[in-house]
Amino acid sequence: MSRKWFQNWFNSPYYHILYNQRDDAEAEYFIDNLCAYLKPDADARLLDIACGRGRHAVYLNKKGYDTVGIDLSVANVTYARQFENKHLHFFVHDMRRLFYINYFDFAFNLFTSFGYFDTKKDHINALKAFRKALKPDGVLVLDYFNTQKIVKNLSPQETKTIEGIDFYITKKVTGGKIIKTISFEHRNKDFAFKEEVAAFSMADFTELFELSGFYVQDYFGDYALNAYEPDQSDRLIFICKKTHA
């Protein structure tokens, strides 16, 4: 079976070079605001889904919470494991597969760590796995880019120079996906990666949540948890609860 784009790109050191502006301060600001809103109990169990190198999970743990991070990238989890302690653990795991049952009080899927799969069924299966991992009154926080703003302001081509590497980036919307290609040369070698993320709208998410057993309790448009403005907001952040069918 051929490797998917996210298996190749997220395992690459160049991913972290290109996105080095995603700093800990931004992650901590977002987590602080979420915790103020959600008010987790001191003994709450938290799950960070597609945790990357663990910046959100590490900070949640620093705030005193028992936290587990899962990610498909072996490289990311290997890096994150240096931060493990009695109440912080990381595992290599595919979000579409079941991970614990009725165990977590809160599950977080942050920084557009969704929308990667080829089929609607895969996305629903992932959300169903999130749901099963949560306790009956558990809460899912899903943070996605605001597709409406991205499509409206799409820049088809740009170049970013970071750490001496010229990253040539193209973007297009096709087949219901926002496709970004990243090409560059480093140490006399040519590299090319891509990102294919579903251009999910508010209506798409509402349907996906309904089909997977969630309902939207609230939603926001940025990391300060301001109201969502379809044309202006940078993010689309959902607070979801399990339906009790």
Q: Which two tokens stand for residue 78?
A: 């290997």
Q: What is the CA radius of gyration of the chain?
A: 18
**Cβ 99 vs Cβ 69: under 8 Å:** no
Distance from the Cα of residue 36 to its chain's centroid: 20
Strand intervals (E) in 113-222: 134-145, 157-162, 165-174, 177-186, 189-198, 214-220
**What is the structure's pLDDT at 3?**
65
Length of the chain: 245
Q: Would you state the pLDDT for residue 211?
A: 97
Identify the pLDDT of residue 9.
83
Where does residue 47 fall: left (phi above 0), alpha (psi -120 to 50 degrees), or beta otherwise?
Answer: beta
Closest CA to 111 of 52, 170, 176, 58: 52
Question: Tens of pLDDT along 48-94?
Answer: 999 999 999 999 999 999 999 999 999 999 999 999 999 999 999 99
Q: What is the largest CA-CA distance in the chain?
A: 58
- Residue ranges in the chain whose pLDDT is less than 50: 1
Q: Domain 5-146+200-242 carries which CATH code?
A: 3.40.50.150
* 3-class DSSP assignment, residue 108: strand
CB 238 within 8 A of CB 221: no
